[in-house]
Amino acid sequence: EADIYQTPRYLVIGTGKKITLECSQTMGHDKMYWYQQDPGMELHLIHYSYGVNSTEKGDLSSESTVSRIRTEHFPLTLESARPSHTSQYLCAGAAGDEQFFGPGTRLTVL
Amino acid sequence: QKEVEQDPGPLSVPEGAIVSLNCTYSNSAFQYFMWYRQYSRKGPELLMYTYSSGNKEDGRFTAQVDKSSKYISLFIRDSQPSDSATYLCAMKTSYDKVIFGPGTSLSVIP
């Protein structure tokens, strides 16, 4: 089983708050991804990284930002949370084409 | 038209049934095809990975790819209640990112 860790698992927060969703991995993957998933909908790629100091925006426009200062960590930050950010956020690391997913963070913005 | 189409279900079958899950796609450049299984409140996990037309078998699971018809399938034999989950198809070109289908929700009734 791939070791992709995400914290917190669940988060309920008020509008306007700054939040950081943590993602860490122990497998040394260079490639890491953040996806947004709503019920019954496909995963939408919002950010990805191919290595330290490399970050790119994905296909889905997002007001979040990411950083990749260390291989192991790929945190996602929302500077000012809004109800439209309510969703499940999935982090993944990749070896070749195979992506290993974390358990996800379910975010609710009131 | 979305690049990857998948019937969202829900699909409900009795234990022991053969399950057929399907995806169609529009991009003829897709070369790599994957099936992920996602349990409720968990991240997706890779079930099958293939890059050629034809069948690939792994235990009770068979992945089938028909590139001429742009159609892929996942068959589950002797389905079990533990197979109840959402099944996501995914695919990619040789150089681009993975595109996921919206998933089919499957319930196997004891």
What does the pLDDT profile of chain B (110 residues) look like in tens digits? 788 999 888 999 999 999 999 999 999 999 999 999 999 888 999 999 998 889 999 999 999 999 999 999 999 999 999 999 999 999 998 777 889 999 999 999 99
Contacts of B34 (CB under 8 A, 6+ apart): A97, A98, B46, B47, B48, B49, B50, B89, B90, B91, B98
A23, A8 contact by CB (below 8 A): no
What residue in B sits closest to A49 (Cα-Cα)?
A: B97
> What b-and-e string marks burial along A44-54, b requiring 16 or more CB atoms within 10 Å of the CB?
bbbbbbeeeee
Which residues on chain A are in Cβ contact (under 8 Å) with B103? 40, 42
Interface of A with B in 5-34 (CB under 8 A): none
- Whether the link from the prior residue into B8 is cis, omega within 30° of 0, is no
DSSP H/E element including A50: strand A44-51
Look at residue B49 in the predicted model and tell me its pLDDT.
92
Contact B41 A58 (CB under 8 A): no
Mean pLDDT of chain A: 92
